[in-house]
Structure 1
Amino acid sequence: MIDFIIVFILLLVVTQKLLASLSKKFAFFDKSLMQKLYWYHLFFFGIYYLYTLYNPSDSKQYYLVAQNAGEEWSLFFESGTKFVSFVAIPFVSMGFSYLTMMLVCSWFGYIGFVYAYLYFRENIPIDIKIFKRYNLLTVLLFLPNMHFWTVSLGKGSLIFMGLMLFTYAVKFPQKRIVTLLIGGFFVYMVRPHVMLFVLVGVMIGLLTGRGKLTTGVKILILAMSLGFLFAASNSILAVAKLENSENVVDDFEQFSEKRSVGLSESAGSGVDMSSYALPFKFFTFWFRPLFIDSPSLLGVFSSLENLIYLLLFAKILNRGFIRFIRKAPYMVKMSAIVFLLTSFAMTFVMSNLGIIMRQKSMVMYFGFFVIYYFLAQKEFNKRQQQKQRAYEMALIPNP
């Protein structure tokens, strides 16, 4: 227990120094909000730990593997599941208990939320109210399901941190190259195929979106992205065992079908998505479980959150959004592409609502960012029109 207390205090000090540094660097940074988010995130760490005491959890297996690794640390340095144990081995070798290791990974997840906040606020300075009283960004940051799946020893906390670091850094890659590389490293090592979607999103966003990056920087990013994709192509295809495939499309369909059946049979919350039309597959991945699907207390809470998702997405179902996305900045288009590509891939292999809840936590913020930007653009245009009308009224002489 002493190791937990020491690490708890150490992480608290490091967090305070990080927040103080960011508040000096960014005038918009709300240190108080981030401190509240820290304790909120730790609250879910406690809930998840209690959950693992009475339910199966991959975190137990990751810790056990790290505990028995001995001096074979280097053998675990490969993308995918082994990488989680690779991260844990140095900490476990220092005597960290399972509880302490969970705390460390929970902190990694919290770092993801800090940089998610920067990702939103740096690009969208306008506050948006929903239901006429709640700040949208605050609501998004405090969504329970997002925290529940990013507080444990596992892929969720590591990839969420990596995605948010990378996305924050890609706005000014030449100034944030270290953050960009660290974020990209974690995303690639945890899920190489997600790194593929991110880079495709970056390239399409740069080529089609508006932005302030110079032509030279755009060319550099595109060249680096293409170079990485070429070098890592075998690793990415190996996720679905397609590195030696002669017909990637057909073999991927077979892999997807087997994977979907396997996940459906692995738990009691399976859904047969194989016969669904693509729009309904997306609906299932983004918005289910809903109340009619919820077999447990966790499912009920997830249904409430999914209802919020559904209400938010309903705000972009209009012609104005189509006009907006066509002329959107590259950060918006990048986010939209990453969100859609990842969702598309997941709908072919996910058929268990419990796993869907966990997997979609890593990509939902990309969709939220697009919605938030759209609503902020509408609010900005509204304010500009009001200013213009006020200016015109001021020019009209009194009779």
Structure 2
Amino acid sequence: MIDIDFVLTLIFLFFANNFMLNNLAKKYSFFDKKLMMKLLWYHLSFFVIYFIYSLVYGTDAGIYYIEASSIWDDWFINFRTGTKFISFFAAPFIQLGLSYSSMMLVFAWMGYIGFVYAYLYFKENIPINVIVFGRFDLLTLLLFLPNMHFWTASLGKGSMIFMGLMLFTFAVKYPQKRVIPLIIGGFFIYMVRPHVMLFVLVGVMVGILFGKGKTSIGIKLLVIVASLGFLVAASSSILAVAKLENSENVVDDFEDFTQASASRLESSADSGVSMSNYALPLKLFTFWFRPLFIDSPGLVGQFSSIENLIYLLLFAKIMNMRFVRFILKAPYMVKMSAIVFLLSSFALTFVMSNLGIIMRQKSMVMYFGFFVIYYFLGLEKWKYLEKMKQKNISIPEAV
């Protein structure tokens, strides 16, 4: 039986979503509202799938809901980074009478907002359409990857941090004009995973310092000073993630922490993989592209394997010297995305030894890698089209 609060929540979110999409369509001429509506229904289908999955198998979403239902008397004590923040955020909604299904829907919508701003992030910076595998529009393919939707359609960290990351990344191109999404995105990233905020800000600073672009000196200084100030102020919270806030030797203690975390995750589930002795390239390969069919944990893992194969084929397109020359001269947003992707991947490979957790964790960073690939392929296509124009050669419509 469907709860009345679920129906009311669905109606409210539908109108709120329509308002958001209409506003974005007015601001950006390239914005495709029809595509975003298709994406909404697609994402909601994964909300239904995950909701049923959580009832059958039990997930963290149920634990978050139970905890959030019981903390109201000490609500503000839970205003801290990490897992507690999910319960803190959900508690007021539950006090208003929202059921488990309604809270799942609210968080699923947050995940959907992440996809809308991922679309803006890609489309604003790469206006050219790229066709891959002979017939598929690359941006559409990336937006409809099922694994991304599955892990961002439920009550939990995945949907919230994905929304925060895409809001922040979209806003950081013009921080002086997009202060509100910048602050909201940065807030959610920091509160859910402070260490990811570290990676993002390092990426921003490196991108601004070494990337090509027309960013003024004043904006560059403002962003760098603000980023450094935030990192200094939040250093204790960031180090606390790995219990290093009182450490006298951060490097050695971090190594001990990662080894302990990896061993715990490896032994906690059937999908554990022994990565502690892997060389770094193999660790990264495991994080980015596994499971791959033969080591897939269950039905979800099989679907993930198909998606991972797509990742692998996309990454194969940048395995050439043209890409190396491109990345060295790449603009600010590309270098920022590359740094965030590599730093996050590097850090997570040292603590991830469970394929199920890897599938969930990498959903928050893969779009940064996809952005770099997309930009490179878009630039390659633009160069090809310019060359054909100079030679007065007609271009097939499929190109």
Specify the alignment match of 2:128 in structure 1.
Answer: 126
Specify the alignment match of 2:397 in structure 1.
Answer: none
Distance, in Å, in 1 between the alignment partners of 2:388 and 2:215 is 31
1:86-235 aligned at under 5 Å gives the runs 86-235=88-237
Deviations, residues 1-23 of structure 1 (Å, cap 9, x unaligned): 00000000110111111111111
Deviations, residues 224-259 of structure 1 (Å, cap 9, x unaligned): 000000000011000000011111000000000000
Specify the alignment match of 1:310 in structure 2.
Answer: 312
Distance, in Å, in 2 between the alignment partners of 1:3 and 1:266 is 37
Distance, in Å, in 1 between the alignment partners of 2:390 and 2:355 is 50
Q: Aligned to 2:318, what secondary structure does the other structure show? A: coil
Deviations, residues 40-66 of structure 1 (Å, cap 9, x unaligned): 000000000000111121111111111
Q: Aligned to 2:392, what secondary structure does the other structure show? A: helix
Shift of 1:167: 0.1
State the one-letter code of the partner of 2:279: A
Shift of 1:71: 2.4
Distance, in Å, in 2 between the alignment partners of 1:372 and 1:76 is 40
State the one-letter code of the partner of 2:307: E
Answer whether contact 2:6 2:99 (CA < 8 A) is retained.
yes
Structure 1, gaps ≥5 residues long: 392-399
Shift of 1:390: 2.3
Specify the alignment match of 2:353 in structure 1.
Answer: 351
- Correspondence for 1:329 among 328, 331, 344: 331
State the one-letter code of the partner of 2:290: R
Distance, in Å, in 2 between the alignment partners of 1:74 and 1:20 is 35
Segments ≥4 residues shifted beyond 3 Å:
none
Shift of 1:178: 1.1
- Correspondence for 1:38 among 25, 28, 40: 40
**TM-align CA RMSD:** 0.8
- Correspondence for 1:267 among 266, 269, 282: 269
Distance, in Å, in 1 between the alignment partners of 2:376 and 2:259 is 36
Specify the alignment match of 2:396 in structure 1.
Answer: none
**Structure 2 residue 83 is matched with structure 1 residue 77:** no
Distance, in Å, in 1 between the alignment partners of 2:220 and 2:168 is 16
Q: Aligned to 1:37, what secondary structure does the other structure show? A: helix
Distance, in Å, in 1 between the alignment partners of 2:57 and 2:94 is 22
Specify the alignment match of 1:396 in structure 2.
Answer: none
Specify the alignment match of 2:291 in structure 1.
Answer: 289
Q: Aligned to 2:207, what secondary structure does the other structure show? A: helix
Distance, in Å, in 2 between the alignment partners of 1:78 and 1:98 is 23
Distance, in Å, in 2 between the alignment partners of 1:352 and 1:145 is 16
State the one-letter code of the partner of 1:230: V
**Structure 2 residue 255 is matched with structure 1 residue 253:** yes
Q: Aligned to 1:158, what secondary structure does the other structure show? A: helix
Shift of 1:320: 0.2
Specify the alignment match of 2:322 in structure 1.
Answer: 320
TM-score (norm 2): 0.97
Shift of 1:388: 1.8
Distance, in Å, in 1 between the alignment partners of 2:162 and 2:366 is 11
Deviations, residues 192-214 of structure 1 (Å, cap 9, x unaligned): 00000000000000000011211
Answer whether contact 2:297 2:355 (CA < 8 A) is retained.
no
Distance, in Å, in 1 between the alignment partners of 2:245 and 2:210 is 31
1:37-76 aligned at under 5 Å gives the runs 37-76=39-78
State the one-letter code of the partner of 1:4: F
Q: Aligned to 1:291, what secondary structure does the other structure show? A: coil
Shift of 1:118: 0.2
Distance, in Å, in 2 between the alignment partners of 1:42 and 1:295 is 24
Answer whether contact 2:297 2:356 (CA < 8 A) is retained.
no
Q: Aligned to 1:60, what secondary structure does the other structure show? A: helix
Distance, in Å, in 2 between the alignment partners of 1:320 and 1:159 is 33
Shift of 1:219: 0.4
Distance, in Å, in 1 between the alignment partners of 2:58 and 2:295 is 21
Q: Aligned to 1:196, what secondary structure does the other structure show? A: helix
Distance, in Å, in 2 between the alignment partners of 1:250 and 1:342 is 19
Shift of 1:295: 3.5
Specify the alignment match of 1:278 in structure 2.
Answer: 280
State the one-letter code of the partner of 1:52: S
Q: Aligned to 2:350, what secondary structure does the other structure show? A: helix
Distance, in Å, in 2 between the alignment partners of 1:306 and 1:46 is 23
State the one-letter code of the partner of 1:108: M
Equivalent residues, number: 391
Quote the sequence identity (%): 66
Deviations, residues 254-274 of structure 1 (Å, cap 9, x unaligned): 000000011111111000000
Shift of 1:383: 1.0
Structure 2, gaps ≥5 residues long: 394-399
